[in-house]
Structures are given as C-alpha cells and as structure tokens.
Structure 1
Amino acid sequence: MSDAETLFERIIAREIPAEIVHETENTVAFRDINPQASVHALVVPKQRYRDVGELAEADPALLAEVLTAAAAVAKLDGIADSGYRVVFNTGADAGQTVFHVHAHVLGGEQLGFFGRGDG
C-alpha cells in the first residue's frame, strides 16, 4: 500500500470538508459527492486498509463495526425499513477508485440490478 494519504484519510482528519452523517470511535460516515441513489453515504474505518478483503483478514471486528455503522446510517436516513444496499467495491475492475476500504450505503428509492444486467 502506498504511503500517500488517501482522500478519505484527509476527510477523517477534517482537512477536506465532507457532510459527516455518523461517527464512532473507529468509523466515519459521510455523503458521497457523486450520489448514485437518493441516499448515498460512505462508511470508512478510520484505520486504513486497502479493500474489504484486507480488512476482513486483518481485523474482522472492525469490519463488523463498519457494517454496524452502515446500518446506523440507514436508520438515521430513514431507509432501514424500506431497504438499502451495502456495497464494497474491491479493485479497479469493480469500480474502486479510492484505495481505502469503504462501504457504500445506498437507498431511498428502488435500486436496479447488479453487474452487466444479462443474467
């Protein structure tokens, strides 16, 4: 992993402004600047891991905290009962552009299908 700070580390450090919607000792959640649904927040652990696989291997308890924070965001945004999606993109082919693991919390509307849509 590169030693260069990621965008998310700068948000966590409050060097870059973001609309923070939830925070715990180990996680922070903020609005995505390019929302893909009516509700679109990102949940990141404050400690940097490249992707969800690396996080799961290194600290399963922290991964559980990220998922608990995602559920809290859904509840705060009023989408817990209607339904929401939690997505981890892992690697460039999956669309990961910031290599600091993050969960997308999406909802607030009927969401489409995954993948190429042909199956």
Structure 2
Amino acid sequence: MMTILIPATVAAVLGGFALRIWYRRWKQQRIEANRKVEAPNSYYSSRGVRQQEDRERWHSIKVGTLHPLNREEVLRLLDVVDEDGVSSLSRKDRLFLDNMTLPRMGV
C-alpha cells in the first residue's frame, strides 16, 4: 500500500506545480492580450491642456478681418483671458470666441 501511495503523492505534487505554472502563464497571456494602451494623441486631454489650446486658438483670431462690433468684443474677451484666465469666461463668452475661430481638429 505504501509503495503506491508515495509515488502517487509525488506525482500529485509535481502535477500541481506544473498545473500552477501553466495557469500563471495562461493568465498572464490573457491579461496581455486584453491590455489596451491609449494612443499618445488621444481624444481625451486634461482641463489645463484644453484651456491652453483654447487660449492659443483664440489668440490666433485675425482681428483685422472682423466686423468692428465683433472686433471690440473679441479684444475685450482676450483681455479678460489674459488677466483672469480661461476659466473666468462664461459659456456664452467661450462660445462667442469659438465661433470666431476655425473649428478644432477632431470635434
């Protein structure tokens, strides 16, 4: 009885180790296959980056080509942006400046 029990126990232990090694490798391969890396030029960006992009886009407005009423409003809003930052503008003011610029890429 002992002659069969010892080899069976050793075989079970070795089989358990082999099964555990196989399972770890299989799990790691499955994780790597499902991993998604975000592209560097992603659609999503932080608020600070968006505000910087907005500020650069708004400062690229060709003020000389605007109607005098729009020109005054654009200059006033650009002064507000320079003094208090982009976050100080209301949604209406942001929309006005966005309408005076070329459309953003990807939007």
TM-score bracket, normalised by the shorter chain, equals under 0.3
- Whose relative contact order is higher, 1 or 2, with alpha carbons under 8 Å and at least 6 apart? 1
Q: From the CA coordinates, give the structure whose radius of gyration is larger.
A: 2
Higher strand share: 1
Higher helix share: 2
TM-score for the superposition, normalised by structure 2: 0.24
